[in-house]
Every structure is written in C-alpha cells, then in structure tokens.
Amino acid sequence: MEKQKTEERNQAYNQYVEMVTPKKNLILQMLKAFISGGIICVVGQIILNICADLGMDKEAQGAWCSMMLILLSVLLTGFSLYQVIASWGGAGALVPITGFANGVASPAIEYKAEGQVFGIGVKIFTIAGPVILYGIFTSWILGFLYWLLRML
C-alpha cells in the first residue's frame, strides 16, 4: 500500500515537472546563439579594423580588441543589459571573452553592498574562479605531458 502511494506521488510529481518545465525550440536557440555570438565577433572585427587604420601592429590590435570587448561587456553588465543579451542569445553571448568578463563583473556588482573585502573581494571570482583554476591545472597537465613526450 505504501509503495503504491509513493509510486503515485512520484508519477504526479513527474507530471507536474513536465508541465512547468519550459519547452525550448533547439533550432531557434541555436540560431539566436549564432546571431548573438556573430554580433560580438563583428564588434570585435570592427575594433580590429579601427586599430589597423590607426597603424597598430597585429599584436597591439589583438590586445586592444580584447580590452575593448571586456570593457564593453563590463559596462553592459553594470547597466544590467548583458543579462538580457545572454538570456536571449544563450551560449552565443556566454562563451566568448565577453561572457568571461561578465562572469567576473556580475558577482562584483551583486555583492558590492557587502563592502570591498567581504563583498567584492570574496565573491568576485565565484563564477570565474573555477574556470581559472581548471584552465591553469589543465595547461599544467598538458605541458607536463608535452615535456614528457619530448623527453621520450
């Protein structure tokens, strides 16, 4: 008897979850990600072209492009516009360098009321910290394997 009630409760819960879970059109989501990521890339290309017109070398162009995209991302995050873009564009807005800058700036803005040390200082890398940690760890492992293979 108890097992039957549990089964009925689980089935009712699964039906409820199915009912309230938003249905997403995969093709539409991919198109939106492509468009939002493409717009970010076009902005980056415009920055590169402006830098080239100013006579900068390739290395300086890349540095300025990265800095300007990060600045734009942080400004959009500060004005609460990047979240709107990311909600619409999904991974297209979250994967590039702008998404990483947003991941660092968002917690800093969210926790600024708690102060410089216990707010911003503690929470700034809550999203970006694992990316940095595992990026460095993975590069160390790959570097070690490369060194090991070169020794053989």
Dist. CA 94–CA 38, nearest whole Å: 12
Q: What is the predicted pLDDT for the residue at 100?
A: 80
Dist. CA 33–CA 22, nearest whole Å: 18
Q: What is the predicted pLDDT for the residue at 103?
A: 79
What are the pLDDT digits (tens) for 124-141? 677 677 777 888 899 999
What are the pLDDT digits (tens) for 3-56? 788 888 888 888 888 888 888 888 999 999 999 999 999 999 999 999 999 999
111 contact partners, CB below 8 Å, separation of at least 6: 119, 120, 122, 123, 124
Q: What is the predicted pLDDT for the residue at 95?
A: 74
Secondary structure (DSSP) of the chain: -HHHHHHHHHHHHHHHHHHHSPP--HHHHHHHHHHHHHHHHHHHHHHHHHHHHTT--HHHHHHHHHHHHHHHHHHHHHTT-HHHHHHHHTHHHHSSHHHHHHHHHHHHHHTGGG-IIIIIIHHTTTTHHHHHHHHHHHHHHHHHHHHHHHH-
What are the pLDDT digits (tens) for 71-120? 999 899 889 899 899 999 988 888 778 888 887 787 777 766 777 777 66
